[in-house]
């Protein structure tokens, strides 16, 4: 039953959500390269300082090397876990190579295999091992900054600064009750394979970010005034390259190595940044609009050799996309013949200008910028709408083709619902109307152009063919004189929709006097 439950959950994962997880995994993989470069640059700076003053700098440098070893061990462990998960779901597709060299999983919706692997096999040993590995790696890295008997630091300020910024943790949620979930069940058991791979890559990045913070604090621990730092690199480290519309883009802008008394002046998109902590600028830009955005500027600091200002430039691009949660009623994917059927189309991570939409035989498209109108001629029972972005196929949706249903007749505001009506309510009506009812998808009004009205009363039967939708005055007087049990028939109703020029025969109606 456990495997069946997990499999059923996997079937409910929308493919657009799976595509978003793949984009996130690509993003995290690309960000990992940035962290590796940053950490390598920090260690290169450390090596130069050691050459200048080995006795003072070497203890800090050895701690930095220990931070590298701990992070590398954790990264290798997660790489092995990810490889095992990939193998569970037949690896990655060979024809979907991303810019970062990452290919999509063949079965991104899979859940049951890794859920069993983490939560059931060996009584959940793998889940406990992963959680412990995350937390122990965090503690080992942070302890390099924590004062103790042989510590390089005399207070806990640097330890607490890094602890506050740390994202590498696997803490149990603070929930209670019979439905309470553990960290393992939340993060490992009920996640599709695509989401799990993105999350594990994010944990690798979090470890590298913590490694960078620890090395930076160790670098600051050396008396920088005793050394000349002759290589500086400007860097911008975003929390994510993809930002959901309505949220905030956040990033750290910094010099990776400088003198401790070097306070930089930072500009962002032409404006001076006022939120600077130490030598790190904190950027917050509201995410408005959808598509690629750019942030750039300069970092200016005094050259420790000359005392004159020296400027470094930085630039970064990121994507703003709409929320990816999508709810689709599969049975309601219908296009009506002759109507301009509206379609809203977007692809997370791509601007509207990058998106192309095509239709199969029997359909045509108009519009753009995410909003389209589909028109079908009725020659095909089904048509397909295909979406591509930046030359890549993002999927095809098939729609049923249906004729617009016939309208339903009614006397003014009195609907034909099979119930007897009071003579007062019927006598008050002056027109015959027709509509498609509240259940129809679009607001499509029809005007009655002709009809036949038949009065079957105790005085006999009267029939009249009428052009237009108005009930003749003499017929209305007869309606007002009818009695209980008499009947009114509305037949041969012709209607027309002015917007599309549609003509339809409306369904007949009968009203019995109460």
Looking at residue 329, what is its pLDDT? 46
Looking at residue 155, what is its pLDDT? 75
Could you tell me the pLDDT band of residue 108, with boundaries at 50, 70 and 90?
confident
Whether pLDDT at 472 is above 90: yes
Provide CB contacts within 8 A for 64, sequence distance 6+: 42, 43, 46, 214, 215, 218, 219
What average pLDDT does the chain have? 82
Distance between CA 205 and CA 202 in Å, rounded? 5
Looking at residue 100, what is its pLDDT? 45
Strands (E), 88-233: 92-97, 103-105
Could you report the per-residue pLDDT of 33-85, keeping only the tens digit for each? Answer: 888 888 888 889 889 888 888 888 888 899 999 999 999 999 999 999 988 98
Whether pLDDT at 444 is above 80: yes
Looking at residue 50, what is its pLDDT? 87
CATH no. of 231-327: 2.60.40.10
What are the b/e assignments for 392-418, b being 16+ CB within 10 Å?
eebeeeebebeebeebbbbbeebbbee
Greater model confidence, 511 or 179: 511
pTM attached to this predicted model: 0.43
Could you tell me the pLDDT band of residue 188, with boundaries at 50, 70 and 90?
confident
Task: Look up residue 289 and give its two tokens.
Answer: 């609009």
Provide CB contacts within 8 A for 328, sequence distance 6+: 14
Distance between CA 52 and CA 107 in Å, rounded? 54
Consecutive H or E run containing 248: strand 248-255
Looking at residue 509, what is its pLDDT? 94
Q: Mean pLDDT: which of 3-17, 114-128, 130-144, 243-257 is highest?
A: 130-144
Greater model confidence, 175 or 164: 164
Whether pLDDT at 383 is above 50: yes
Q: SS3 breakdown of the chain: % helix, strand, coil, rounded to 5?
A: 35, 30, 35
Could you report the per-residue pLDDT of 254-299, keeping only the tens digit for each? Answer: 666 655 556 788 898 888 888 887 777 888 888 777 777 888 999 8
Domain topology for 330-402: Immunoglobulin-like (2.60.40)
Indicate where the chain has its CATH 2.60.40.10 domain(s): 231-327, 330-402
Greater model confidence, 280 or 419: 419
Range with the poorest average pLDDT among 4-13, 297-306, 311-320, 355-364:
4-13
Looking at residue 317, what is its pLDDT? 78
Whether pLDDT at 384 is above 80: yes
Beta bridge partners of residue 366, listed in sequence order: 373
Distance between CA 27 and CA 58 in Å, rounded? 36
Whether pLDDT at 331 is above 90: no
Would you say 31 and 241 are in contact if contact means Cβ atoms under 8 Å apart?
yes
- Mean pLDDT across 408-430: 92
């Amino acid at each position: 039953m456990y495997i069946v439950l997990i499999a059923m959950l996997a079937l409910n994962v929308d493919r657009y959500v799976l595509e978003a997880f793949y984009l996130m995994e690509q993003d995290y993989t690309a960000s990992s390269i940035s962290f590796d470069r940053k950490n390598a640059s920090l260690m290169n700076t450390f090596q130069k300082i050691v050459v200048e003053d080995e006795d003072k700098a070497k203890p800090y440098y050895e701690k930095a090397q220990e931070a590298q070893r701990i992070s590398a061990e954790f990264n290798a462990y997660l790489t092995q876990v990810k490889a095992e998960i990939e193998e569970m779901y037949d690896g990655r597709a060979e024809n979907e190579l991303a810019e970062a060299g990452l290919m999509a999983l063949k079965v991104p919706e899979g859940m049951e295999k890794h859920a069993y692997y983490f939560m059931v096999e060996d009584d959940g040993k793998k889940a406990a091992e992963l959680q412990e590995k995350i937390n122990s790696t965090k503690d080992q890295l942070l302890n390099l900054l924590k004062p103790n008997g042989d510590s390089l630091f005399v207070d806990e300020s640097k330890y607490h600064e890094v602890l506050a910024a740390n994202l590498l943790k696997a803490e149990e949620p603070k929930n209670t009750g019979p439905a309470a979930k553990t960290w393992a069940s939340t993060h490992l058991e009920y996640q599709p394979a695509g989401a799990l791979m993105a999350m594990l890559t994010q944990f690798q990045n979090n470890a590298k970010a913590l490694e960078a913070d620890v090395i930076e604090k160790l670098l600051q621990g050396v008396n920088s005034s005793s050394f000349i730092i002759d290589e500086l690199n400007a860097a911008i480290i975003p929390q994510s390259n993809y930002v959901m519309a309505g949220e905030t883009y956040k990033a750290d802008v910094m010099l990776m190595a400088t003198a401790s008394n070097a306070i930089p002046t930072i500009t962002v998109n032409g404006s001076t940044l006022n939120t600077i902590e130490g030598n790190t600028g904190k950027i917050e830009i509201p995410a408005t609009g959808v598509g690629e955005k750019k942030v750039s500027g300069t970092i200016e600091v005094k050259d420790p050799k000359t005392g004159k200002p020296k400027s470094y430039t930085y630039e970064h691009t990121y994507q703003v996309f709409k929320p990816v949660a999508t709810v689709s009623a599969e049975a309601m994917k219908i296009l009506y013949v002759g109507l301009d059927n509206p379609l809203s189309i977007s692809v997370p991570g791509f601007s509207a200008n990058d998106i192309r939409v095509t239709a199969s035989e029997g359909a045509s498209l108009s519009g753009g910028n995410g909003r389209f109108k589909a028109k079908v001629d009725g020659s095909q029972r089904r048509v397909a709408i295909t979406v591509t972005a930046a030359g890549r196929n993002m999927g095809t949706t098939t729609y049923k083709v249906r004729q617009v249903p016939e309208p339903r007749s009614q006397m003014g505001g009195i609907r034909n619902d099979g119930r007897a009506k009071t003579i007062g309510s019927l006598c008050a009506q002056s027109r015959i109307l027709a509509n498609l009812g509240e259940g129809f998808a679009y607001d499509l009004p029809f005007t009655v152009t002709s009809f036949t009205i038949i009065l079957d009363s105790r005085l006999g039967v009267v029939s009249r063919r009428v052009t237009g939708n108005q009930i003749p005055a003499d017929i209305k007087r007869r309606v007002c004189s009818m009695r209980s049990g008499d009947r009114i028939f509305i037949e041969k109703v012709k209607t027309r929709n002015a917007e599309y020029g549609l003509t339809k025969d409306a369904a007949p109606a009968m009203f019995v006097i109460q």
